[in-house]
Structure 1
């Protein structure tokens, strides 16, 4: 009977148990504390202090989390609001996450946010605080352990009171590009609990304080692009918990690698774009937890240690742009987890070990511009095993062979870069099997034959760069319009004839770059009328005659950056331009045509302006001085006349190349340079300038080439030339050649860094045209003037010169013995003066007495 009673009671309990659970849950919920009224009110005030601006949402998935916060109703308890976290015992707000909430407006010091004094976690990242300053009121949130204000458009100084937030373990102020930190040491010295510190792209501009080496809790330290300088404390590498050290993009930050130990927990090490130097220690192989190593664009040297093959957890290895030398260690083929491998612009030699075929997880491989060589297709067979590659860049890899057939297996490639590889033979038809190709670069090779028709089956190809090969045949626009995604087409400097007549709607392709130089064009292609997105247009070295049509100036008005119509037979313009049509233009080359009238002065954005070798007349408009960023100005070999505008001196802070040779300019040479001048080459020869050489040229501290020959100057020898440091370099290898500004790549087409210009110099008794000044070429030409007086002894200090021409002047006295110091001199012309000859001259000099 007792057993029966027990059974009945237990059965009843089981039946009632769900009811008890419901009652208990409701009782427990009723005991949960509600949000404090003051904190609820503070949150609502904070909400109302900002606009709801969809333009402040930087993420397409962002939404205003505070939109559902309400004063009354069932949702009036702030502990249930989106983005709010409360303490389960007290009901105080301890967490607030309003990241990506489209907040717009200024955050002020008396904000109700700072009434939430129990906050432990605060995330306001990815909003727009309208470049307001970070208020010092944050110091009132003394319980904060987590604070993120990244990507939030703050500006000004980080308040010194931030250092009072001593409980912080996580601080992220990154990507507020107008935010400054005047005292990094002052910020961190009290934050002894810090584990994660992110200050990427905050303007710090100071050394890295040694005190960071004492923050033993640090696991993450990010100071990318902070303008740090000085010596990096080596002790930071040895912090016991540090897993992520990212200091990239600080060009003035110096340092070296210490000896590493096997206990190091480092997983990510980013030092790219710094001035870290020295050799990589063999102990780097102890960093067996390392996943990512980014040390490109530093000044490391020596050999790559074979011990690096021990870093088998690496997924990213970036060693580019250093001075590493020797062969690639075969041990690197042990890094079978690698996804990204960058080794470009190093001084490596030999060949790639065939065992690199083991790196089957590679997605990106960049071996460009090293001294690595391969002589036969079999030496490249290992590439065919890397079937997951999406990017392969081997620009400048000396192959001297046909395109390796092993590449046919790389069917996932979206980028293939093989420029300047000495490739021979024809473009193989099997390239069409690489159906994922988006970018194809085969420029500056020796490829022959016709473009295979299979190339036009690459349906998603966007960039086709065949610049400077030996390709032949006739192609038509219709063929390229089959590539419906094509935006950049570079066929220049081949033997191709490009036909532009088409019945296909040419507007379906919106090109960014068209390079059709030397393509046997006889007129401006009509399909250009419909192009409104071009950034680069090159129609040079063709047979285009007559005037530039009016419609040409309407092409891509808002986008064109680079225009080259040089080396044609253009005579003028079909209309008078009231305003120059391309406001974004940076390079304009109209040289070597038959132009008889000048175009309007190009826009202030212009960096390179070339109209040499035409028949242009008239005076130079003072409006040219509005080109405040001008780098190169070449008006040589025309029929310009008049005096030079005095305002040219205003360009001396940007101008590197000034070539006015072979015109009819007269009058005094104006003061062309002020202090800080960047001029490196000045050629005013073969004009009718009079008077003296302006003393202001002594401000040209970077001047390397000076040519004032064949004028009517009447002056004593300009002794101040001896004060110009670049004119008396002892080591000729240190001379930098006159270089054009490197233009940002235009959708696959980079304007050559050494942008061509010409210079005619009387050398070894005859005039020689130099289409480009080589690196070690240094010149002074003051011939055919009326310079008088003695040649000063200092001229012997100008070692590093190849040419010195002082002929056809009225110089007197002895030829200085110091000329014998000019050991690099190749041509010396002192003829047609009144000098006394001496015997000691450089042995390799061609001398004209």
Structure 2
């Protein structure tokens, strides 16, 4: 009897505990009805009023904002549930049209941790007031038509981890104060008009995992001690004006997976010492420079490569040992066009690559066997100006081919292609039919 009562009491207590804990969870997960602080709402409303309605007002997130409602429920707004301060403002692609003023209500949101105004027309300079948002961790202003010099006040954002300013018209050098951004992991200022050298101040930012400065007007040489970026995974400075030697220290960064130095003025031999640990490089793009001399054999050790571009390498009419590519079993894209070599590229070299789909061999002498068979279906093939006199038979059955450049050769016969996908074909004086 006592045992039965005891069990009932235990069951009752457990049910009570469960009921109370459930109530606590429900209450704790329900935000207060008016989370937003009045000063935060006023600042947001002031910011909204700085941008007149455009013809695309329907796309503006701010059109859903209502001054008599909780601003933490507005589109693009995330608040800190404990304080009611606006922590995130994301108005990407919201058709904002007008300059960002130094007195903007935006800069009264002093507890912002993430700001994304990308893909708006904020034509004008980036005001010094941006440095007042000292708690920012993420700053996204890509594609905003901003111009002028980057303000030195960016150095005040000591908590910043992501700086994304791609697709603007910024001029001049990176501010020296950028050295203060010790927490920065991503520096993305592609497709702008930055000039000057690769700033030595960047070497202080040892937490960087990604640097993208492609398509600017940067010049001079890269620092020799690039291995300071010990956590770097992505490095892209293509389409600039850099010259001199490619620092061998870049290849000593164990975490690096993507390296793009194309279309600069790098010259001389590429000399790389012993790579102490297995490289993780998956993309290596060196094409369109002034590199000369033998293609270094160390490339055969980059066994994780899926994309390799050595185009316009000047071997000074020397020989090329194409067997170095046989070790790169994961290659999906290879560009070795315009090598200025007397060696003949034998297509059978690529017959056992299982992933190769993009191959550029133009302006070399290329040899095709009549029995050639490739394991991997080719999607894009460029063999322009390769002294080809007969249309390669293996191409007739490449059903995955969508791009073919076989122009400037000596092919005089008509050709029937069986690829239903081919969309770009360059033959100039030759004839081609496909179905």
Q: Which category describes the TM-score, using the shorter chain as reference length?
A: 0.7 to 0.9
CA distance in 1, matches of 2:138, 2:400: 43
Matched residue SS, 1:221: strand
- Kindly provide the CA deviation profile for residues 99-137 of structure 1, in whole angstroms up to 9, marking residues without a partner as x: xxxxxxxxxxxxxxxxxx95979xxxxxxxxxxxxxxxx
1:26 aligns with 2:24: no
Aligned with residue 314 of structure 1, among 200, 208, 233 = 208
Contact 2:110 2:132 in 1 (8 A): no
Equivalent residue runs for 1:155-170 within 5 Å? 155-158=58-61, 159=63, 161-168=65-72
Equivalent residue runs for 1:59-98 within 5 Å? 88-89=26-27, 94=30
Aligned with residue 509 of structure 1, among 386, 399, 415 = 399
Aligned with residue 293 of structure 1, among 187, 198, 204 = 187
1:278 aligns with 2:267: no
TM-superposed CA distance for 1:338, in Å, is 0.1
> In 2 relative to 1, CA 316–499 (structure 1 residues): closer, same or farther, beyond 3 Å?
same
Contact 2:405 2:426 in 1 (8 A): yes
Relative to the length of structure 1, the TM-score reads 0.44
CA distance in 2, matches of 1:202, 1:488: 38
Matched residue SS, 1:23: helix
1:518 aligns with 2:420: no
CA distance in 2, matches of 1:297, 1:359: 25
1:489 aligns with 2:381: yes
> In 2 relative to 1, CA 18–347 (structure 1 residues): closer, same or farther, beyond 3 Å?
farther
- Kindly provide the CA deviation profile for residues 638-665 of structure 1, in whole angstroms up to 9, marking residues without a partner as x: xxxxxxxxxxxxxxxxxxxxxxxxxxxx
Q: Residue 232 of structure 2 corresponds to which residue in structure 1? A: 338
Matched residue SS, 2:330: coil
Q: Residue 417 of structure 1 corresponds to which residue in structure 2? A: 309
1:538 aligns with 2:426: yes
TM-superposed CA distance for 1:490, in Å, is 1.0
In structure 2, the gaps of 5 or more residues are 42-56, 78-83
- What's the C-alpha RMSD, in Å, of the aligned pairs? 3.5
TM-superposed CA distance for 1:260, in Å, is 5.3
Matched residue SS, 1:349: strand
TM-superposed CA distance for 1:17, in Å, is 7.0
> In 2 relative to 1, CA 331–18 (structure 1 residues): closer, same or farther, beyond 3 Å?
farther
1:388 aligns with 2:292: no
Equivalent residue runs for 1:457-476 within 5 Å? 457-469=352-364, 471-476=365-370
Q: Report how many residues are paired.
A: 405
TM-superposed CA distance for 1:249, in Å, is 1.7
CA distance in 2, matches of 1:403, 1:514: 26
> In 2 relative to 1, CA 442–19 (structure 1 residues): closer, same or farther, beyond 3 Å?
farther
CA distance in 1, matches of 2:338, 2:7: 80
Bigger-Rg structure (1/2): 1
CA distance in 2, matches of 1:301, 1:501: 50
TM-superposed CA distance for 1:383, in Å, is 7.6
CA distance in 1, matches of 2:163, 2:189: 8
Q: Residue 454 of structure 1 corresponds to which residue in structure 2? A: 349
- Kindly provide the CA deviation profile for residues 732-765 of structure 1, in whole angstroms up to 9, marking residues without a partner as x: xxxxxxxxxxxxxxxxxxxxxxxxxxxxxxxxxx
Matched residue SS, 1:266: coil
- Kindly provide the CA deviation profile for residues 598-647 of structure 1, in whole angstroms up to 9, marking residues without a partner as x: xxxxxxxxxxxxxxxxxxxxxxxxxxxxxxxxxxxxxxxxxxxxxxxxxx
CA distance in 2, matches of 1:383, 1:207: 50
CA distance in 1, matches of 2:7, 2:268: 78
Contact 1:354 1:382 in 2 (8 A): no
Q: Residue 199 of structure 1 corresponds to which residue in structure 2? A: 91
Q: Residue 294 of structure 2 corresponds to which residue in structure 1? A: 402
Aligned with residue 172 of structure 1, among 76, 91, 98 = 76
TM-superposed CA distance for 1:285, in Å, is 1.6
Equivalent residue runs for 1:672-821 within 5 Å? none
CA distance in 2, matches of 1:350, 1:520: 39
> In 2 relative to 1, CA 26–322 (structure 1 residues): closer, same or farther, beyond 3 Å?
same
Matched residue SS, 2:187: strand
CA distance in 1, matches of 2:148, 2:72: 29
Equivalent residue runs for 1:119-138 within 5 Å? none
> In 2 relative to 1, CA 217–165 (structure 1 residues): closer, same or farther, beyond 3 Å?
farther
- Kindly provide the CA deviation profile for residues 56-109 of structure 1, in whole angstroms up to 9, marking residues without a partner as x: xxxxxxxxxxxxxxxxxxxxxxxxxxxxxx97359xx947xxxxxxxxxxxxxx
CA distance in 1, matches of 2:74, 2:282: 36
Q: Residue 765 of structure 1 corresponds to which residue in structure 2? A: none
TM-superposed CA distance for 1:499, in Å, is 4.0
CA distance in 1, matches of 2:366, 2:145: 46
Contact 2:156 2:180 in 1 (8 A): yes
Contact 1:244 1:268 in 2 (8 A): yes
Matched residue SS, 2:351: helix
Q: Residue 303 of structure 1 corresponds to which residue in structure 2? A: 197
TM-superposed CA distance for 1:382, in Å, is 6.7
Contact 1:475 1:499 in 2 (8 A): no
Matched residue SS, 1:482: coil
Contact 1:279 1:303 in 2 (8 A): yes
Q: Residue 374 of structure 1 corresponds to which residue in structure 2? A: 268
In structure 1, the gaps of 5 or more residues are 1-11, 35-85, 96-116, 122-138, 140-153, 174-191, 557-849
Contact 1:484 1:508 in 2 (8 A): no
Contact 1:489 1:515 in 2 (8 A): yes
CA distance in 1, matches of 2:222, 2:145: 27
Matched residue SS, 1:317: strand
- Kindly provide the CA deviation profile for residues 652-697 of structure 1, in whole angstroms up to 9, marking residues without a partner as x: xxxxxxxxxxxxxxxxxxxxxxxxxxxxxxxxxxxxxxxxxxxxxx
CA distance in 2, matches of 1:412, 1:163: 55
Matched residue SS, 2:425: strand
TM-superposed CA distance for 1:163, in Å, is 4.6
Matched residue SS, 2:251: helix
Contact 2:289 2:313 in 1 (8 A): yes
CA distance in 2, matches of 1:325, 1:201: 33
TM-superposed CA distance for 1:224, in Å, is 1.7
CA distance in 2, matches of 1:28, 1:472: 79
Contact 2:136 2:157 in 1 (8 A): no
